[in-house]
Structure 1
Amino acid sequence: MPSSAPYQPLLLKILHAVSGILAIAAMITGFLVYNTFDGRFGKLPIPSVDSIIDVHGTFAVFFFVIFPVFALYSFHAGNKRLLQKDSFQKLTEINKPIWWVSLQRIANTLMLISGALAVLSGRMMKEEWLPTGQLNHTWYYLHLTAWVVIVCCLAIHILMSSKVGGLQLLISIFSGKIRPEDSPQKWSTRLRNWFSNSSVNFAGGINHSLHNNLPLTVAEIIVLVGIVAALILPLVISN
């Protein structure tokens, strides 16, 4: 592995791989659901799959399980890859490296927000809506919107990763190299320390975040509220 190649923490690689696979599977099957039962905005001439809603729902459930963990990791340990205080300002520096990095950070953050919208709107939908031709529900339109945004942001994420990191980033993603402090045996200790520090410095951490990166703090709140709403709303609201 080249010495100049960036290092990807093992937990990040695992969460990134699992959530990425589940998200892509949910997106593909989600399109097949749309293609089978809707198609108003264009469709592909491919065979319909009657059980595709169940398949899509299965991938969506597994994604919903891993998404909160990935989101929390991203907003904290991986916050350098997300929206920064000056990210939108840096978009004026076209064709400079910071422009590519800033665009990727914005896309990554928007993808997390859209992921929260996707799980919330998906949880609020009813399985019988599409098979019976009920295509005008607000939650369904929100689900379609989230799908479009995630696809666009994923494309930007992949393109910008290739532009910014190139071959070295690809090598680091698939590398089996693990630093001693990144060993799975130390995850429980690091997790306890993280929770301990978080509880002690909770107020100070919020104050620090609000002053140093308010946009990212707002994005995290939106995502966490979306996840909690996805857990609670289907239990208290009947569509």
Structure 2
Amino acid sequence: MSPKFSQPYQPLLLRILHGLIGLFTIGAIITAFWTYDVFDGRWGKISLPKFTEIEGIHGTFGVWTLIIFPLFAVYAFHRGQQRLIQPDSFTKLTDFAKPIWWYTLHRLVNTLSILAVTFAVCSGRMMDEKWLPQGELNHSWYYAHLISWLILVTCIGLHLLLSIKVGGVPLILSMINWRFRSKDSPGLWRKNFDNWRDNFDVRIIKQWLSSLSLLKIIEIFVFITIVSALIFSLIKEIG
């Protein structure tokens, strides 16, 4: 008999991807501030230890975030699209302070968080690791990366607060609960992927593109931005 779940049930793959992207993003946020504090500090600092290798550690967190993020984004935009912005989201925002208003705001913040991670990882890839150690602090991509840090911290804070508001502690705990139902078993992932691959057809993409929504436009923008940043950074490394 399947065990009873007192908490809201979250798909196992979502929990794994959400946990990994959360871990690497928070690591990147912490090390980003440490890097700023060591090499810059023009807008305030707390005099953290002068650990010059911190920029490399920050870059490592950034790379792992970039590796996991596309997988998380694919899941979020498809299997998890009900947690993101909906066609009637802006209409429902007129029901101020009602439950649907909070749920809608939560979906909007979830969507903005994906855009914030996109901005952060892509602006980071556009930077040169030699800039800060050499005291080159006035590059436009460095300023963009600083702004992305502020936006990302704000989005994560709102994401946590609204998650507690709409689901309480049980929702938070459900994201770190490692129990899973039989349909979510990792043993089925290969079979599900093979089924998806065998049934994939170009017509599916054409049908998907035939009716663009705001969420689809955001998805296209996210993936074009990530791919463009990767190509640009690769060209920069080769050059």
Above 0.5 in TM-score?
A: yes
CA distance in 2, matches of 1:74, 1:198: 19
Structure 1's 197 and 101: CA in aligned 2 closer, same or farther, altered over 3 A?
A: farther
5+ residue gaps, structure 1? none
Correspondence 1:42-57 to 2 at 5 A: 42-57=44-59
Structure 1's 194 and 146: CA in aligned 2 closer, same or farther, altered over 3 A?
A: farther
Match of 2:61 in 1: 59
Structure 1's 206 and 197: CA in aligned 2 closer, same or farther, altered over 3 A?
A: farther
1:179 paired to 2:181: yes
Shift of 1:198: 4.6
5+ residue gaps, structure 2? none
CA distance in 2, matches of 1:90, 1:222: 25
Match of 1:25 in 2: 27
CA distance in 2, matches of 1:92, 1:148: 28
Structure 1's 43 and 191: CA in aligned 2 closer, same or farther, altered over 3 A?
A: same
Shift of 1:2: 6.3
Shift of 1:185: 0.7
Instruction: Give deviations 1:57-109, integer Å, cap 9, x for gaps.
Output: 11111111111111111111111111111222322222111221122211111
Instruction: Give deviations 1:130-185, integer Å, cap 9, x for gaps.
Output: 12221111111111121111111100110010010112213322333311111111
Instruction: Give deviations 1:96-126, integer Å, cap 9, x for gaps.
Output: 1122112221111111112122221111111
Question: Of 186, 205, 209, which aligns to 1:206?
Answer: 209
Match of 1:222 in 2: 221
State the secondary structure of the residue aligned to 2:175.
helix
Q: Which amino acid aligns with 2:109?
A: A
CA distance in 2, matches of 1:41, 1:103: 31
Structure 1's 56 and 165: CA in aligned 2 closer, same or farther, altered over 3 A?
A: same
1:122 paired to 2:124: yes
Q: Which shifted more, 83-92 or 5-14? A: 83-92
Shift of 1:232: 0.3
Q: Which amino acid aligns with 2:226?
A: I
Q: Which amino acid aligns with 1:218?
A: I
Shift of 1:12: 0.5
State the secondary structure of the residue aligned to 1:99.
helix
Shift of 1:18: 0.8
Q: Which shifted more, 19-28 or 118-127? A: 118-127
Correspondence 1:144-155 to 2 at 5 A: 144-155=146-157
TM-score (norm 2): 0.91
Match of 1:192 in 2: 194
Structure 1's 109 and 41: CA in aligned 2 closer, same or farther, altered over 3 A?
A: same
Structure 1's 126 and 79: CA in aligned 2 closer, same or farther, altered over 3 A?
A: same
Q: Which shifted more, 108-117 or 215-224? A: 108-117
Question: Of 156, 159, 173, which aligns to 2:158?
Answer: 156
Please provide the CA RMSD for this pair: 1.9
Structure 1's 234 and 176: CA in aligned 2 closer, same or farther, altered over 3 A?
A: closer
Structure 1's 47 and 119: CA in aligned 2 closer, same or farther, altered over 3 A?
A: same
TM-score (norm 1): 0.91
Q: Are 2:122 and 2:226, in contact at CA under 8 Å, matched by a contact in 1?
A: yes
Across the two proteins, how many residue pairs are aligned to each other? 235
1:14 paired to 2:16: yes
Q: Which amino acid aligns with 1:223?
A: V
CA distance in 2, matches of 1:90, 1:171: 28
Q: Which amino acid aligns with 1:104?
A: H
Q: Are 1:113 and 1:222, in contact at CA under 8 Å, matched by a contact in 2?
A: no
Q: Which shifted more, 123-132 or 40-49? A: 40-49
